Structures are given as C-alpha cells and as structure tokens.
Amino acid sequence: MTNFKLVFLLAFSFLFLIACSEKPAEKEPAKKKSTTTEAYRDDNEEFEKYINQIDNSATLNIGNSLFYSHSDQTSYELAFKVNDDDQILRMTEKYTVTEGGSIMSNLFYYKDKRTYASKEYFEEGVGDDAHFVERVTYYDENSKPILTKKRTAPYEDYLDQSSFTLATTQSCSDERAFRALTQQDEFETNFRGFVDEGAERYIMVGENKDGGYETALLLQKRTPFLMSLYQNQESKIGMKLQVTFQTMKDPAGYEYQALLGAVEVVEEK
C-alpha cells in the first residue's frame, strides 16, 4: 500500500447583506463573531457530510496494524479504511499514555489522496480539573490547517452534549500512524523471542531494543524457519522480520493476533 500524504481543496463562500434605503446607508458597527458552531456551520457542512459518509460506510475495506504494548504499560494500535483501489480514506489511532490510563484516539480523513480532516479525543488536566476534549481540524490543499474547533466534557460519553467553540488552528500529525502502518521505526517487527503458554506458542516482535514497543503473535504452524528461530533464540534476537497476520477471536470472544507467516528481511548493503 502506498505511503502517501493526502490534502484537499476547499472553497469558502461568504454572503453579505447590504441594507438599502433612500438615505445613504450608515455603516453598522462591527459585531463580534460568535465562537459557537452556529457561526461557521455552513463552512463545516461539506466536511462533516464527508466525514459521516466515511464513518458510516459499510462498503469500505477495513484493516488494522499490530497491537503494540510498551514496557511502560502504554499501548498503541491503528485501524484503517480503504476503497477498492486501496486508497486510504480513514486511519484511526488508539493509544494510552499512562499505565491504566484512558484510551485516546486520533482519526485522519483523506479525500482525493489528500488530508481532509482530523479528529482528536484526549484527556486534559489532572484531578478535579481533568476533562475530555474533542478537537476537529479541517485542512486546505497544501495540508495546512484552516480551522480548528473543540468541545470539552467531564467524561468522554458526554462530549456529544457539549457545543463546539473555535480554537487555535493547529494540525494533527499522521506520521506515527504511517509508521505503524508500514512497520517502521518504533513499530518495526524485529525478533524478540518466544513465549510458551501451555500448548500455545507466541512469537514476540518489536522495536530492536529493550523497553520498546512489542507485540505477540500466536503461531498457527511451526514451520522449519520458526523452529530454527526457537532453537537459536539468543543468537537470533534482533533479526528483522516481515510478518503477516490476522486478528481473530477465540471461542470466548477474546481477540488475538494469529501469525500467518514470517520471513527474514535481508537488507541490501
């Protein structure tokens, strides 16, 4: 799948009302622009229509990255939607930043191979001042943010009951999402060892350092290559692998990552 950045084309239209009378019209004092959603609903309509279309589509193909956990007990995973031409239309990051912390998320929307909009859901503040934030940004054809709005609530489930206000315009980077999608940098799939749990055997892959992101995949077949890795784990730690997998559910409904294949990646010198 092509790693690309996507941007969009937006046209603003403004409606001016001119009052006419027999006398020359007097210039009215400028009114302060409202910071509520009502002030820019027309500008949002096209964006929100497209976002809802992608969110609610039942015909798009879906996929996901590996589920990564970190030594500090934080986690990261990525889901995506693509059309029949394998063009990414939405990516969704889900991550935690503290052990046992709330799951936060970033959603990126793409149109015509361009970044179109982003949504961020995160927790802000501590103690009694803690609250959830939803921040939405729209982008122009040069991938520059042109409008950001946000709303807050004491709990994430209450965000829909809050109103948006204009916020400082800022972008939300999708670079980490693309690294996870392509298994690069902190999301590489280097060999990190095996874990046996009863009759089941898992291969651990992840960042090539202690304390980095790792993920476990359940072996479906014990191939000669995997058996060789198992028998020579210590000397093979750090071997760069390319893995294929499928997220599945066991009879109890718990999800796991099934390893479909693994090969060594030999980099050209």
**pLDDT tens-digit profile of 151-206?**
999 989 999 999 999 999 999 999 999 999 999 999 999 999 999 999 999 999 99
- Overall average pLDDT of the 1-10 stretch: 35
Q: What mean pLDDT do residues 19-38 have?
A: 42
pLDDT band (50, 70, 90) for residue 34: very low
**pLDDT-wise least confident of 4-8, 13-17, 50-54, 262-266:** 13-17
Q: pLDDT band at 215, cuts 50/70/90? A: very high
- Give one DSSP letter per residue of 168-196, joined into a string: -------HHHHHHHTT-GGG--EEEEEEE
Average pLDDT for 55-70: 96
Strands annotated E in the chain: 61-64, 68-69, 75-82, 88-95, 104-111, 114-124, 131-139, 145-153, 165-167, 190-197, 200-206, 214-219, 241-249, 255-264
39-43, 49-53, 211-215: which has the minimum mean pLDDT? 39-43
Q: What mean pLDDT value characterizes the chain?
A: 85
Q: Which residue has the higher pLDDT, 16 or 62?
A: 62
- Per-residue model confidence (pLDDT) at position 99: 62
First to last CA, the chain: 25
Q: Select, from the ranges 14-28, 88-102, 134-148, the one with the highest average predicted confidence (pLDDT).
A: 134-148
Q: Which residues contact 87 (CB under 8 A, 6 or more apart)?
A: 110, 113
Range from 53-57, 100-104, 130-134 carrying the lowest mean pLDDT: 100-104
pLDDT value of residue 110: 97
- Whether pTM > 0.85 for this model: the answer is no
Is residue 18 over pLDDT 80? no
pLDDT at 39: 44
Q: What is the pLDDT of residue 102?
A: 86
